[in-house]
């Protein structure tokens, strides 16, 4: 079932182009995201803008009057009969225009190359620095953005109050000009956007003094950004409709906030997992001890078993970061990997050296035989070797 184009704008089917334009501008002022923050207002604004773009084009309006829907894929012919082979082009006249530059145009036409002055706005991007703690818990911050907003003097129309754009004299309102060139195939007609009106088909002869006819102005505004828990470096948070307002007061683009995660003094991040190093004296590693570790969730006691070897690793389950899924929800937490660095004493005094000699004698290690193995606990390459070499 085709959508009710005229009902969406609140005009009659025999409404003039001026009546359609006035109805659209009235709705645009009420529904524009800059002034209406109610749920559904943005989608309603996009809908009336799409409907206006159809009804302001005589060829597309003709399709609507015949029972079709230009916004549906494939078009749709009148009466709901068989497939129209020319539906996607709006009729045979558009096919001739596409291949030969257009001559007379379809019935009710004459504006085949005209494009709407109301256009979609551009997206905007800004970066936000976050600490590891911010990424773990999520934050809500107020940010200041400098973007284009709809001109409140002309309501996006671009013309001075009480005036309206006039039909372009150069292209006669079509938005394009045609030229004939000779080639070995004969005369070839080509079309290009009108240089006078830039393809709009109309010219703003008395522009708004505030926006200069663009329908939008630059403004600085403050918005609140909610960063979910579990984000990471390079991730982007999308704020729908908070980007640039389009020319002619068109729908706003989106604002993307990109996360710039700062390095942490204790932890290295690997996805949702965290890694850290803890230095343990040789004597403590040999006899066992308990180490108090500062985690993102507070202090945690870590038991070092007697006989712990250099390079040993302990995993604290669930002590990492939240696992953020693609749908924005958190599904569990990562782990905290604690790498134990056993510290061998240096610069021993005579008494300490003598004590170690006695220990070696008691263990029969005065002249130890070296053991060579590919699987020993020496200087093994692993996760942190990548970060020592400059990997972040």
Q: Indicate the annotated binding residues for Zn(2+).
A: 151, 154, 168, 171, 194, 197, 208, 211
Distance between CA 33 and CA 216 in Å, rounded? Answer: 13
> Are 199 and 193 in contact, with CB atoms under 8 Å apart?
yes
Positive or negative torsion for Cα 22, 42, 35, 219 = negative
Distance between CA 373 and CA 333 in Å, rounded? Answer: 37
Distance between CA 259 and CA 128 in Å, rounded? Answer: 5
Backbone angles phi, psi at 373, to 5 degrees: -150, 145
Distance between CA 205 and CA 208 in Å, rounded? Answer: 10
Bridge partner residues of 125 (DSSP):
256
> Are 18 and 72 in contact, with CB atoms under 8 Å apart?
no
CB atoms within 10 A of CB 362: 8
- Number of helices (H), then strands (E), belonging to the chain: the values are 9, 17
Distance between CA 283 and CA 286 in Å, rounded? Answer: 5
For residue 171, what are its two tokens? 């292209």
> Under 8 Å CB-to-CB from 338, ≥6 apart: which residues?
276, 277, 278, 293, 302, 313, 314, 315, 316
Show binding-site residues.
151, 154, 168, 171, 194, 197, 208, 211
* Three-state secondary structure string covering 82-148: CCCCCHHHCCHHHHHHHHHCCCCCCCCCCCCCCCCCCCCCCCEEEEEEECHHHHHHCEEEEEEEEEE
**Strand 139-150 to 313-316 pairing:** unpaired
For residue 323, what are its two tokens? 């696992």
């Amino acid at each position: 079932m085709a959508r009710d184009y005229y009902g969406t704008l609140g005009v009659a089917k025999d409404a003039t182009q001026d009546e359609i334009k006035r109805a659209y501008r009235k709705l645009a002022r009420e529904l524009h995201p800059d002034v209406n923050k109610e749920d559904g207002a943005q989608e309603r604004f996009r809908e009336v803008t799409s409907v206006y773009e159809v009804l302001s084009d005589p060829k597309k309006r003709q399709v609507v009057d015949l029972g079709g829907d230009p916004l549906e894929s494939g078009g749709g012919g009148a009466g709901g009969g068989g497939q129209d082979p020319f539906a996607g082009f709006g009729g045979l006249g558009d096919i001739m225009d596409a291949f030969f530059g257009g001559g007379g145009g379809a019935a009710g036409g004459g504006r085949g190359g005209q494009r709407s002055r109301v256009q979609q706005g551009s997206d905007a991007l800004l970066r936000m620095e976050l600490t590891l703690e911010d990424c773990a818990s999520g934050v809500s911050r107020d940010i200041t953005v400098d973007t284009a907003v709809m001109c409140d003097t002309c309501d996006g129309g671009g013309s001075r109050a009480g005036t309206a754009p006039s039909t372009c004299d150069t292209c006669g309102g079509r938005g394009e000009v045609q030229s004939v060139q000779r080639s070995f195939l004969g005369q070839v007609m080509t079309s290009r956007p009108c240089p006078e009106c830039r393809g709009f088909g109309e010219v703003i002869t008395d522009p708004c003094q505030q926006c200069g006819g663009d329908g939008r102005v630059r403004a600085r505004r403050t918005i609140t950004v909610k960063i979910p828990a579990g984000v990471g470096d390079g991730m982007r948070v999308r704020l729908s409709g908070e980007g640039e307002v389009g020319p002619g007061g068109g729908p706003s683009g989106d604002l993307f906030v990109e996360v710039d995660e700062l390095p942490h003094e204790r932890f290295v991040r690997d996805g949702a997992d965290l890694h850290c190093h803890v230095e343990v004296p040789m004597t403590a590693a040999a006899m066992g001890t308990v180490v108090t570790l500062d985690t993102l969730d507070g202090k945690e006691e870590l038991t070092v078993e007697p006989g712990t070897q250099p390079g040993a690793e302990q995993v604290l389950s669930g002590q990492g970061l939240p696992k953020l899924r693609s749908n924005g929800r958190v599904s569990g937490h990562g782990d905290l990997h604690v790498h134990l660095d056993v510290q061998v004493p240096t610069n021993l005094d005579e008494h300490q050296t003598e004590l170690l000699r006695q220990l070696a004698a008691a263990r029969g290690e005065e002249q130890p035989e070296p053991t060579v193995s590919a699987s020993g606990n020496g200087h093994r390459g692993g996760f942190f070797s990548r970060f020592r070499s400059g990997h972040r």
